[in-house]
Amino acid sequence: MTIDVALRHRFGDFSLDASFRIGKGVTALYGPSGSGKTTIVNALAGLLRPDHGRIVVDGETLLDTDTGAFVSARRRRTGYVFQDARLFPHYSVRQNLLFGARRATKCTFSPRLDDVVELLGLQSLLGRKPGKLSGGEKSRVALGRALLSGPRVLLLDEPLAALDAKRKSEIIPYLERLRDSVRPPMIYVTHSVEEVSRLAEDLIVLHNGKIVASGSVFDLLCDPLLGPLVPTHGAVFPATVHEHRADGLTALAFDGGVILVPHLARPLQATLRVRLAADDIILAREAPEAISANNLLAVVVAAGHTHTETHSDVRLSCGGIKLVARITRASFNRLGLQQGENILAIVKSVAVDPQTGPLANGTD
């Protein structure tokens, strides 16, 4: 499935001009408030008629201002999860979920209620009213209601923005599970780099109504050239559980070698995401002796570093994986790093995001 979007719209002094194509998986629309993210998803849902535009989903034209084509919101088969959940307060959780199922059309596949309840861990909530739910529980019910409507596209407009850190950590694993099992096309609106790094596969960066960058999340999140638009905290990349070692470490294989973390209770070949913070990478020309760090990676100095008065963000390649190391400007000058040079990256700490569980941190 592909989704083609081309939109131009004006609100007062704000002007949106954005075009993109996406497929299955999670695409994050990222940018500050007022950059045009919600305008795009509202146009996709049929809640907004843009001044000019065309939207085609799986070959069906939902909007074409040149021809006057406009499919109503009800017939678009989009599932919309809002920031405030918008559950029916007089319905139980089960009734809210069944309302979504009643919206499913006969010509589309719709998951079974029992499957969605299991996927989102809603078994103990079915008899409750929304007023008796936590913020995270409401978000899961809203997600389940959207899924049961049998959507071709799932739209999530900052669904975690109203939650505190604890509630966010509770619901993110369910979103990861949805991404990896059901795999509907999902457009996820956020201004959180943390959520992008955990959930997204592709990233569209918006600023002042225009797309300034788009591509794989694994490439863009470690690109210091994007500067203040996407704060560079380090690298994110996929890995698989390769070996559980007798010394209490788990070896993770990725397209650059193997990285070691404290034991993970995950089966062999399980997939997950690894995050290496830029501040947790030390660069060296030679392998040091007698250090506590378990991970020394062979890397190549890439192009496109950025510098401040005090620090340098150095772009690196490790096999097919892109990394970034944040070192002092003095260290950068002392090392005299050159593009294409082979050096070592000493990793002080590794963060692992299992796809079916909460964040686990491993040091050294």
Class of domain 235-363 (CATH, top level) = mainly beta
Q: Angle, nearest 10°, between helix axes 93-102 and 135-148? A: 30
Rounded distance between C-alpha atoms, residue 213 and residue 205, angstroms: 5
Q: Tell me which residue of 197, 193, 191, 143 sits closest to 171, measured CA to CA.
A: 143
Asked if domains 3-220 and 235-363 share a fold, the reply is: no
What's the CA angle centered on 178, arms 175 and 181, to 5 degrees?
Answer: 150
pLDDT tens by residue, 301-350 = 999 899 989 999 999 999 999 999 999 999 999 999 999 999 999 999 99
pLDDT over 50 (residue 363): no
- Sheet of 26-30: strand order equals 69-70, 60-64, 52-57, 3-11, 14-22, 210-216, 202-207, 26-30, 186-190, 153-157, 78-81
216 has a pLDDT exceeding 80? yes
Determine the length of the chain: 364
Closest CA to 239 of 351, 361, 364, 326: 351
Q: Tell me, what's the pLDDT at 357?
A: 37
Tens digit of each residue's pLDDT (9 = 90 or more) over 226-252: 877 887 678 999 999 999 999 999 999
Give bridge partners of residue 144 from the DSSP assignment.
none
pLDDT of amino acid 181: 78
Amino acid in position 299: V
C-alpha to C-alpha distance for 7 and 243, rounded to whole angstroms:
48
Q: Which of 175, 171, 353 is nearest to 264 (CA)?
A: 353
| Among 205, 209, 199, 200, CA closest to 230 | 205
**pLDDT tens digits for 146-189?**
888 888 899 999 888 877 888 788 788 888 888 887 777 899 99
Percent residues over pLDDT 90 in the chain: 61
Per-residue pLDDT tens over the stretch 253-280 = 999 999 999 999 999 999 999 999 999 9
What percent of the chain has pLDDT above 70? 95
- pLDDT reading at 24 higher than 70: yes
Q: Can you give the residue ranges of every domain in the chain?
A: 3-220, 235-363
Structure-token pair, residue 309:
């008065």
Tell me the C-alpha distance between 170 and 86, whole Å.
19
**Residue 197, number of CB atoms within 10 A of its CB:** 21
Find residue 156's DSSP bridge partners.
81, 188
Supply 125's token pair: 């909530």
Determine whether 355 is exposed, middle or buried from the number of CB atoms within 10 Å of its CB (0-12, 13-18, 19+): middle
Q: Mean pLDDT across the chain, nearest whole number? A: 89
What integer is the mean pLDDT of 36-54? 95
For position 360, what pLDDT does the model report?
A: 38
Burial label, 12 (beta-carbon count in 10 A; 0-12, 13-18, 19+): exposed
d(CA 217, CA 198): 10
3-220 in CATH: which number? Answer: 3.40.50.300
Q: How many CB atoms lie within 10 A of CB 102?
A: 8
Identity of residue 210: K
